[in-house]
Amino acid sequence: MLLDLAWRLLRPLAFALPAEKAHDGALSSLELGGALARGLAGALAGPPPPSLARPLGRLRLTGPIGLAAGLDKNGRAADFWPALGFGFVELGTVTAHPQPGNPKPRMFRLPAEHAIINRMGFNNDGSAALASRLRALREAGRWPASPLGCNIGKSKVTPLDDDSVAEDHLASLQHLRGLPDYFTVNLSSPNTPGLRTLQAVEPLRRLLDRVVPAAQGTPLFVKLAPDLEPDELAAIVLAAIEGGVDGIIATNTTISRPGSTGRLEEAGGLSGRPLWPLARQRIGTVVQAAQGKVPVIGVGGIHQADQVLELLDLGCSAVQLYSALIYEGPGLVHRLNRALVERGR
């Protein structure tokens, strides 16, 4: 396929640049390329085949494979991703206050493992800026058929007490209200000091008491870390369901270093292939705890069709990926979609 061939030629050039430079360059090209980039991707890959469309709670996905949060934090190419075959797209994480994130370098490739370590620290233009971009998309009639979600997180400057955390999330919800097809509350980034302490039953309950009503009927998911022990994770899933969430996304990156040989000294969250065994286990725990009461979206190290099928068979309603796109190239999702159709999904 042409996209794969193009990626084979381009990848050495992209990988010669520092990871974040390559990432920013790619997003700038997509932003500048606009309709041309969408048209080209549409011709070479295209949206998921209609037979892959499916419900996810109150959403209608155009396919089961979504873009995970973090790649297009600011929604610079929000309407591009469906043309690569993504059935839904998660923008963000954005925070109520725009923030620069951690000092660079903060994103590292581990090519031998097909993995990434990042400690970006929620660098983003802020939820108001994302809202302006999404408003422009809606007003231009360019909202894609694939649902667009906004992942929101706590601003670094906001203290960790219950009230401040809730107010920070409410500010983002207010900026974005009426725009995205769904929200995700991200409590699982390892790169905002203290954030993961919110992944406990009582703090989560108190946060959801305020946040769920403020979503005003827009589906709201919670995204969890793989570093929670299974018992804790199951208790948190139950608290989230009782708190009124519409779905669980599992998992984020891990602070552990399963199977990695490269860049072990770098702090941050590990994603990509070495995350799979841990993510797969934790996704199993989440599916079991959720008991079908809300949909589960599986994420972590997915790069081949067998993994997608395994998670769907396990009881996930959909999956997301990020790191594999960097290593396998932009034709990946199209290939996975084709394999799913061939296997009758």
| Residue linked to tokens 């992944």 | 199
The smaller minimum CB distance to ligand FMN, of residues 87 and 301, is found at 301
The CB-of-12 to ligand FMN minimum distance in angstroms stands at: 20
Q: Which of 189, 260, 271, 323 is catalytic?
A: 189
Concerning whether 260 is annotated as a catalytic residue, the answer is no
- Which positions from 245 to 284 touch ligand FMN by CB under 6 A, shown as an x/- string? -------xx-----------------xx--x---------
Handedness of CA 39, 53, 282, 244 (dihedral sign): positive
Q: Which two tokens stand for residue 295?
A: 């949909």
Chain residues 313-332 in contact with ligand FMN, contact rule CB under 6 A: 321-324
By CB under 6 A, is residue 299 in contact with ligand FMN? yes
By CB under 6 A, is residue 120 in contact with ligand FMN? yes
Q: Report how far residue 342's alpha carbon sits from residue 190's, in angstroms, rounded to the nearest whole number.
A: 38
The smaller minimum CB distance to ligand FMN, of residues 173 and 321, is found at 321
Site size with ligand FMN, rule: CB under 6 A: 27
- Which positions from 83 to 102 touch ligand FMN by CB under 6 A, shown as an x/- string? ----------x---------
Q: Which stretch binds ligand FMN (CB under 6 A): 68-76, 172-180, 206-214, 289-297?
A: 68-76
By CB under 6 A, is residue 109 in contact with ligand FMN? no
The smaller minimum CB distance to ligand FMN, of residues 73 and 97, is found at 73
The smaller minimum CB distance to ligand FMN, of residues 93 and 291, is found at 93
Rg (CA), the chain: 18
**38, 65, 73, 180: which one binds ligand FMN (CB under 6 A):** 73
The smaller minimum CB distance to ligand FMN, of residues 184 and 218, is found at 184
- Which positions from 19 to 58 touch ligand FMN by CB under 6 A, shown as an x/- string? ----------------------------------------
Q: Report how far residue 238's alpha carbon sits from residue 247's, in angstroms, rounded to the nearest whole number.
A: 11
By CB under 6 A, is residue 68 in contact with ligand FMN? yes
Residues annotated as catalytic are: 189
